[in-house]
Chains A and B, each alone.
Chain A
Amino acid sequence: MHMSRRCSWASRRAACARGIPGLWLLGCCALAWCPRWGLAGQVSQSEPSPESPRIVWRETTDREAPRVFEVVGLGGPVLEALGRASLSSAEWTRLFAVYAGVSSAEAPSDTPAMLGRHLIVGDRLRFQPRFAVDVGVPYVAILSLRYLPARVVSSLPDTITRLQGTDSIAAEFALSPDRQQVGTRLTQIYPSGDVLPENLLKIYLHFSAPMSRGESYRHIRLVHESGRLVDLPFLELDEELWDRRQQRLTLLLDPGRIKVGLTPREESGPILEPGQRYTLYIDSDWQDARGRPLVSSVEKNFRVTARDERSPDPRQWRVNPPATGSREPLSVTFGESLDHALVSRLLEIRDHADRPIRGMGRVTDMERGWQFTPALPWKPGRYSLKADPVLEDLAGNSIGRPFEVDLQAVETRPGPVSVLAIPFVIH
């Protein structure tokens, strides 16, 4: 990261504008001071004397408050008087406050001050923000000596008179992003194939680093080969279907336009049409969790085939056992592409006593296959490939139930959910 500070005085601006790279130098830079302007038009134009108060910010070792704002130069008697005066939270805030998102051009009349605590630490008055300061957000810290409580002023008439002569002071601070860091990329789109069913239900976008939440759908477009933008193809959920690290986003194609007979499909038509080609565009202006755009835009082209309304049938899967004594992977072919996330999670190998075999699974061949490499060499014996019936194909048909079910037809009602086992032998 990079810290910047701006000051109203030209001489100080030059010093600050040089910038001091790296947060580790914050404390050092904070020793320079940047008084800027007074409140209510009382701009301080005179060079302050060395003992005048000034505002700095600096790093601390406190994980709860890694950066704090401090007033130095108030002097011991004033700090002691403040300590004795038991100021209320409102009094502290009137005296010394930090405002986020406020530029130097505007007075923070309608902006509440940051939440935080006021402390007297050694020879400094400290404001410890309740939340860590953010990269890219401007902060203005304002010391308003006019709001020193009367009980403090009356106890130190001479000192206060001197301080009040310096007027209110303010300083701006900001952390700018570290341009040296590697940018975030979209690394993979699943399904990875380029021939997809008309009733495709899900698309997974994988990223190399955590992304931001809240604006995702704005950065994703589906375009027909004619150049026509497909209108609202995705189910836009405010929550956005991210994984815990926000490195994978699940896009659901609007189920109302996939299921035959539902109003959205009847009125707006299907999202994808067989025989047509489409391009999925992901814009590079989508920001990652650090607020940086993606390294590049990405597009995926695909052709659409007929609907898939059948559940995956594990009886049609082919299991190819490796030789005993080896650590060669066991391979499974499904005969169709299945859901990448679910294949990754819902398949496992068990031994004859139904104990799980340790190893690593890998989805292969455009999600039409799966390989399992054991941690230890294969021993001869009976094994089974276990699949959870929740496992789906690209159209949301699970082993246990097709995506569209006519529940009035008894024979197609979903049965009880159980785990399927496909036995195989390693010789």
Chain B
Amino acid sequence: MMRKTFLLLAGVGCLGLLACSATAGDFKASMKAGTPDLQSIGPIAFGPDGILFLSDPKGAAIFAIDSGDDEAVTHAKGLDLADVDGKVAALLGTTADKILINDMAVNPLSGKVYFSVSRGLGPDATPVLMRVLRSGKIEQVSLEGIHFSKAELPNPPKSGDKRLLSITDIAYLHGRVFIAGLSNEEFASKLRSIQFPFAGVGGGTSIEIFHSAHGRYETRSPVRTFADYQIGDEAYLLAAYTCTPLVKIPIDKLESGEKIIGTTIAELGNRNRPLDMFVYNKGGKDFILMANSSRGMMKITTENLGTIAGLTERVSGTAGLTFETLAGRDSVMQLDRLDEKRALILVKADEGPLNLETMALP
């Protein structure tokens, strides 16, 4: 999903933020060689210097691994690969209907594409990390003997518990790892923030976000995906909720741990779930590119993002920031930024295989 942050930071300069004061050595100094005890694999996200964050919903943990893939390479050609799920499944010794591709992340340095994969559909599914090289070759990323560090999320389920926290997105923003999650029991949507490098075992700060709708503040809605955005001197988190309001939240308030009221800046229509999004610049203007479950891919303007008052009245249809829906992008399952001018999408047409396609940023 949204491994947009580091690219964005690189693109706009370091902005004096926390992430820029640390060096590669700092980021990797706390890592130790070994094999992460992953029980499952969910959303993944790239951080600095080829560090990849892996979420483990069953193990209630976040792993930061040194992928070793930290050489900056530019590629003239894009990456297009048909039947990715079929090929991944074949390498894993099974068929596409017996694996789940949980997430996709492009390494902003090398342009290699990483997939979080569950081999098997049952509770004993094997978590696997796969990688597509720019040649189109697919390989498994071995986690044996790699350098990694681990942050355990607080209050993990006890043995025999049916309670579990699903992780819906993860991102590295300004020196912190943000994790959006949803419980399978109490209706509690959590956004958690953990300082990186991980300072021992600790779950970081839990953040509760409210956003406005019809004069009320609703809370606890699940955050589906998020990105960051800089408005003047202030950094914001853009959070897309499952029922498609797009909300902006000042990041400095997230770090304080206080209860936060976000501002709804767009209603992108009902009967829809946002899947992935990132911010990009084209022609001197910033846009948000968002893939959706049923409303296609949206190119959202950001011109009023800093000044928009927030939607507090009942909205019929869509409102707030203006957007256009891109034709022919109805079946995008995963989206990430490939480079400054291109995005990578994982597309499923009808009941067919998943295809990896490069698209020019609109």
A residues lining the B interface (CB < 8 Å): 98-102, 110-116, 129-134, 137, 139, 201-202, 210-214, 231-232, 235-246, 248, 250, 252, 254-256, 259-264, 266-268, 287-291, 339, 341-342, 345, 390, 392, 396, 398, 403-408
Contact between chains at B316 and A263 (CB < 8 Å): yes
The answer to whether the Cβ of B310 comes within 8 Å of any Cβ in the partner chain is: no
B337 at the interface (CB under 8 A from A): no
Stretch binding the partner chain, chosen from B45-53, B71-79, B84-92: B84-92
CB within 8 A of B157: which of A133, A202, A244, A408? Answer: A244
Residue contact A115 to B91, C-beta cutoff 8 Å: yes
Chain A contacts for B166, CB-based, 8 A = 237, 239-241
Decide yes or no whether B215 CB sits under 8 A from chain A.
Answer: yes
Q: Does the CB pair B93–A134 fall under 8 Å? A: yes
Taking a contact as CB atoms under 8 Å apart, the answer to whether B94 and A137 are in contact is yes
Min distance, Cβ B253 to any Cβ of chain A, angstroms: 16
B134 contacts chain A at the CB level, 8 A cutoff: no
Interface presence of B252 (CB below 8 A): no
A112 touches B138 (CB 8 A): yes
Bound state CA distance, A346 and B253, in angstroms? 31
Taking CB atoms and an 8 Å cut-off, the chain B residues in 215-264 that contact chain A are: 215-219, 221-222, 242-245, 261
Residue of B90, B120, B168, B315 with most chain A CB atoms under a 10 A cut-off: B90
On whether the beta carbons of B216 and A406 are closer than 8 Å, the reply is yes
A250 contacts B184, CB within 8 Å? Answer: yes
A80 to chain B, nearest CB (A): 29
Contact B185 A213 (CB under 8 A): no
Which residues in B have their C-beta under 8 angstroms from that of A405? 216-219
A339 to B58, CA, bound (A): 23
With CB as the reference atom, state the residue of chain B lying closest to A344.
B162
B157–A398 contact, CB under 8 A? Answer: no
Instruction: Judge whether A289 and B121 touch: CB under 8 Å.
Output: yes
A404 to B243, Cβ gap below 8 A?
Answer: no
Minimum CB–CB distance for A107 against chain B, Å: 14
Is B317 interfacial (CB-CB < 8 Å)?
yes
Q: A130-B140, A266-B316, A345-B185 are in contact. Are A213 and B219 (CB under 8 A)?
A: no
Contact of B214 among A110, A212, A235, A262 (CB under 8 A): A262
Give the chain B neighbours of A259 by CB distance below 8 A. 213, 218
Q: Nearest chain A CB to B333's CB is how many angstroms away?
A: 9
List residues of chain A with CB within 8 A of the CB of B86. Answer: 101, 111
Decide: B210 and A242 in contact? CB cutoff 8 A: no
Contact yes or no, A246 B93, CB < 8 A: no
| Cβ distance A387 to chain B, nearest Cβ, rounded Å | 13
CA distance A318 to B47 in the complex (A): 53
Closest to A211 in B: B122
* Chain A residue contacts of B90, Cβ below 8 A: 99-102, 111-114
Given contacts A345-B161, A405-B219, A406-B217, contact A232 B271 (CB under 8 A): yes
Point out the residue from B126, B210, B267, B271 that lies within 8 Å of A131, measured CB to CB.
B126
For the complex of A and B, 3 pairs with smallest distance between CB atoms: A289-B122, A261-B214, A256-B243
Task: Report whether B92 and A131 are in contact in the complex, using a CB–CB cutoff of 8 Å.
Answer: yes
- Given A100-B93, A133-B93, A202 and B121 touching (CB < 8 A)? no
> Are B185 and A264 in contact, with the CB atoms below 8 A?
no
Q: A99-B90, A263-B244 are in contact. List 19 more A-B contacts (CB 8 A).
A: A112-B91, A114-B90, A131-B92, A133-B93, A137-B93, A239-B42, A239-B102, A239-B182, A244-B58, A250-B185, A255-B243, A262-B214, A263-B267, A287-B121, A288-B122, A398-B186, A404-B216, A405-B218, A407-B210
| Interfacial chain B residues near A339, Cβ < 8 Å | 185-186
Shortest Cβ distance from residue A79 to the other chain B in the assembled complex, whole angstroms: 24
Q: A100-B95, A408-B217 are in contact. Are A396 and B123 (CB under 8 A)?
A: no
CB distance from B80 to the nearest CB of A (A): 14
**What B residues does A112 contact at CB under 8 A?**
87, 90-91, 138
Chain B residues near A250 (CB-CB < 8 A): 184-185
The residue in chain A whose Cβ has the minimal distance to the Cβ of B294 is A232
| List of B residues within 8 angstroms of A202 by Cβ | 187
CB distance A235 to B138 under 8 Å?
no
Q: Does B8 contact A (CB under 8 A)?
A: no
Do residues B213 and A261 form an inter-chain contact, with CB atoms below 8 A? yes
In the complex, the answer to whether A341 meets B162 with C-beta atoms within 8 Å is yes
Complex Cα distance, B160 from A144, in Å, reads 50
Q: Which of A130, A232, A396, A407 contacts B93 (CB 8 A)?
A: A130
